[in-house]
Amino acid sequence: MIIGISGGTGAGKTTLVNYVAEILGKEETLILSQDRYYKHFPDLSFEERCLINFDHPDALDLDLLTSHVVQLQKGKSIKSPSYSFENHLRMDEIEVIHPKKYILIEGILVFTHAPLRDLFYYKVYIEADINKRVERRMERDINARGRTKEEVKARFENTLHAMHNQFIAPYLHTANVVIINNDLNVAKNQMQEWIATTIK
């Protein structure tokens, strides 16, 4: 079963996706993130790569992601790329990923590509207050991606908000369920109830 999980940046998708895997059983659940599939621009300088709008669907190789999901759906393993957010480049490492009973496809833009979206048996949209999302995004990018507070704030104001309104928020109404994640415990309870009544 393939489940697509999307929502705005900082909505808490990764945390809740991991929680879904716990409920469904980690041995039976594969998590595949869109973040592995950013395009590779080795011919650009680091400064030029920093100017790429990574919150636009064109920054992603969604066709490759779609083809990999199709392969997993057929019970075949894939060779997935890895991506460095520090250098804005794909890494040399290729990871062989094997299919499992439940396949969770996670990312802010996974609903934007119709061929991929059509593969999802269920679509889950994670929603959160904008102030919560900014706070979470800032914490993640500073701690995990080497950004400064000023960089994160500028990116949110100049790019992220507009991209959210154009490419992410419109798909909220296509989801089978919307999980409100302003409070993690409440969101977990909502997710658990949905899984209990829908999947398990």
Q: Which tens digits make up the pLDDT trace of 150-181?
A: 877 777 777 888 999 999 999 999 999 999 99
Model confidence at 115, pLDDT cuts 50, 70, 90, reads very high
- Rounded Cα gap, residues 91 and 64, in angstroms: 16
Nearest by Cα to 80 from 99, 108, 101: 99
Query: pLDDT by residue (tens digit) across 48-89?
Result: 998 889 999 999 999 999 999 999 999 999 999 999 988 899
Residue 4 contacts residue 117 (beta carbons within 8 Å): yes
Domain ranges of the chain: 2-198
- Domain 2-198 fold: Rossmann fold (3.40.50)
What pLDDT does 157 receive?
76
| pTM for this prediction | 0.90
Region of poorest pLDDT, from 46-50, 140-144, 164-168, 182-186: 140-144
Model confidence at 144, pLDDT cuts 50, 70, 90, reads low
